[in-house]
Amino acid sequence: MARVRVQEAPFDAGREIAAMTNGRRDVGAVATFVGLVRDSNDGAAVRRMTLEHYAGMTERALEAICDEAHSRWDILDVRVVHRVGPLEPGEAIVLVAVAGAHRGEAFAACEFIMDYLKTRAPFWKKESTPAGERWVEARESDDEAAARWAEGGGPA
Amino acid sequence: MVTVLYFAGLRERLGCGREQIPLPAGTPTVGAVLDWLRTRDGRWAEAFAPERAWRVAVNQHMADLATPLKPGDEVAFFPPVTGG
C-alpha cells in the first residue's frame, strides 16, 4: 500500500500498522498518532467538519515530509493516511505510523511528521457550529511546534 | 497564460476557484500576478489586503512573492493550512 494516502473513507489503524510491518523482523517499535474530530473548538460546539485539500500538492507535501523524517532519523517505514470530506465528531481524521528498530526514533519521527503536516500540508478545516459554518484559523502554537524541529532540533 | 487556483476561505471570499490570467509583462513573478489581481477587482484587493494571512504555491511547491513564473504555471493561493 502507498506510504501516503488522502481519502474520504475511514481507515483502520490496526490494519495500516499490520500492512506496514507484515513479514518484517527488523521492526522493534511502531509509534502512531491518530487525530480525531473533537465536538468543540474555540468555545463552540462542532456538529460536523469538512476537510478540503489541494489534490496533488497534498500528496507531494506529505511525501516530502516523510522523506525528511527518513533523512533525520534511522526509521524503517512510515504511513500517513489523511481523510478529506465531511467528518463527524469522534471520527478519525489522520493517522501517522512510524516503524523503527527502537522507540526513541519512532516517537520523534512521528511527532515531527505531525508537526510538519499541520503547517505544510494543504488541508483546510471548515466547522459546522450552531452559529453557522466557519473556517478554522491556523494556530500560532502549530507554527511554534513545527519551528522546534528547525536545524535538526527537537522538542525541549 | 497561467492558471490561478484559490482554496478554502479565500475561494469563498473571491467567489472563484480557478481562472486563467495573462502572464504579466516584464519579469513575471508571483508578486506581479498579485499586483495585477489586486488592481483588477476590489474583491481581490480586499482578500489580499496587508492584514490578511495567505500562502502561495507554484506548481504545487510552496513559493513566495519573488518566485518567477513562466507560461503554463499553476499558481495557488490559500489561507494558512489547518489539517491534522
CB contact under 8 A, A124 and B57: no
Q: Is B5 on the interface with A (CB under 8 A)?
A: yes
Q: Which residues of B touch A124 (CB under 8 A)?
A: 7-9, 78-79, 81-83
Among B78, B77, B65, smallest CA distance to B28 is for B65
Q: Which residue of B has its CA nearest to A113?
A: B84
Identify the sign of the CA torsion B20, B25, B30, B36.
Answer: negative
pLDDT at A150: 87
Per residue in B26-43, pLDDT tens? 889 999 999 999 999 999
| Tens digits of residue pLDDT in B44-72 | 999 999 899 999 999 999 999 999 999 99
Please count the structural domains in chain A: 1
**Is the pLDDT score of B73 beyond 80?**
yes
Mean pLDDT of A89-103: 98
Cell of A133: 459554518
Give the CATH number, domain containing residue A111: 3.90.1170.40
- Report the pLDDT value the prediction gives residue A90, as an integer from 0 to 100: 98
A110 within a domain of the structure (yes/no): yes
B 45-84: CB under 8 A from A: 53, 57, 60-62, 76, 78-84
Report the chain B residue with the minimal C-alpha distance to residue A96.
B84
Domains and CATH numbers, chain B: 2-78 (3.10.20.30)
Residue A100 placed within a domain: yes
Rounded CA separation A30/A20 (Å)? 10
Domain-located, residue A155: no
Question: Does ipTM surpass 0.90 in this model?
Answer: yes
Q: Looking at beta carbons, which residues of chain A come within 8 Å of B5?
A: 54
> How many pairs of residues across A and B have Cβ atoms under 8 Å apart?
73
**Looking at the domain assignment, is residue A117 inside a domain?**
yes
Taking the Cβ of residue A94 and every Cβ of chain B, the question of whether any pair is shorter than 8 Å is answered with yes
Half-sphere exposure for A142 (CA within 13 Å, toward CB): 18
Spatial CB neighbours of A78, under 8 Å, sequence gap ≥ 6? A3, A66, A69, A70, A96, A97, A98, A99, A109, A113
* pLDDT for the residue B24: 86
* A61 band by pLDDT with thresholds 50, 70 and 90: very high
Q: Is the dihedral of CA A138, A142, A144, A147 positive or negative?
A: negative
Q: Tell me: pLDDT of A156 over 60.
A: no
Other C-beta atoms lying within 10 Å of the C-beta of residue B64: 11
Say yes or no for a CB contact (<8 Å) between A126 and B57.
no
Report how far apart, in Å, the C-alpha atoms of A128 and of each of A39, A54, A124, B81, B83 are: 10, 21, 13, 18, 16
How confident is the prediction for chain B on average, in pLDDT? 96
- The cell for A82 is 489523511
- Is the residue at A30 inside a domain? yes
Predicted TM-score (pTM) of this structure = 0.94
Residue A93 lies in a domain: yes
Are A66 and A60 in contact by the 8 Å Cβ rule? The answer is no
Q: Is the pLDDT of residue A91 over 80?
A: yes
Contacts of A82 in chain B (CB under 8 A): 83-84
Do the chains contact at A120 and B81, CB–CB below 8 Å? yes
Asked if A51 has any chain B CB less than 8 Å from its own CB, the reply is yes
Q: Is residue A156 part of a domain?
A: no
The answer to whether residues A84 and A59 touch, using CB atoms and an 8 Å cutoff, is no
Boundaries of domain holding A67 = 4-150
Strands B74-78 and B2-6 turn out to be parallel
Nearest to B81 among A56, A60, A122 (CB): A122
Kindly state whether A62 is in contact with chain B, defined as any CB-CB distance less than 8 angstroms. Answer: no
